[in-house]
Amino acid sequence: MLTGGELAALVAAVAWAVVAVFLCIALIKLIRLLTEATSAVAELRARTTPLLDDLATTVERANSSLDRVEEITANLASSSEDVSTVTALTRSAVTGPLVKVASLSYGVRQVLGRRKTLALIRTRRRKERV
């Protein structure tokens, strides 16, 4: 039979064998995981490169469109200044005579209104005298 030391050595050897088997299984799974991660990173790199190229093209197109919009905005600002100038000139050319015509018509209405009032007063005085 086995002595106590031999039995302990046998148990220790079996325990180390079990631990070694678990470590081998863990290493195999780790190797598979690293292999799949490497392939996933390679696939991601293969997909990302065209996306970045498309993104760069899109940014360039947007930049050229913004340049055109900037030109249009500058032209609109210039046109707006021109319209403002024409409006000011038209206002000064039309407003002055319109104010004068309005003043004249107001004066004429006032005079005509006073003449009617005076005529009414005169007719009443004539009636009172009679």
pLDDT of 99 = 77
CA dihedral 45, 46, 50, 52 (to 10 degrees): 0
The 8 Å CB, 24+ separation contacts for 125-130 are none
Q: What is the pLDDT of residue 112?
A: 79
Split the chain (130 residues) into runs of 10 and give each run's mean pLDDT: 86 96 97 96 92 93 93 90 85 77 83 79 77
CA 82/CA 129 separation, integer angstroms: 70
DSSP per position, 82-119: HHHHHHHHHHHHHHHHHHHHHHHHHHHHHHHHHHHHHH
pLDDT at 130: 65
Domain spans of the chain, in order of start: 1-96
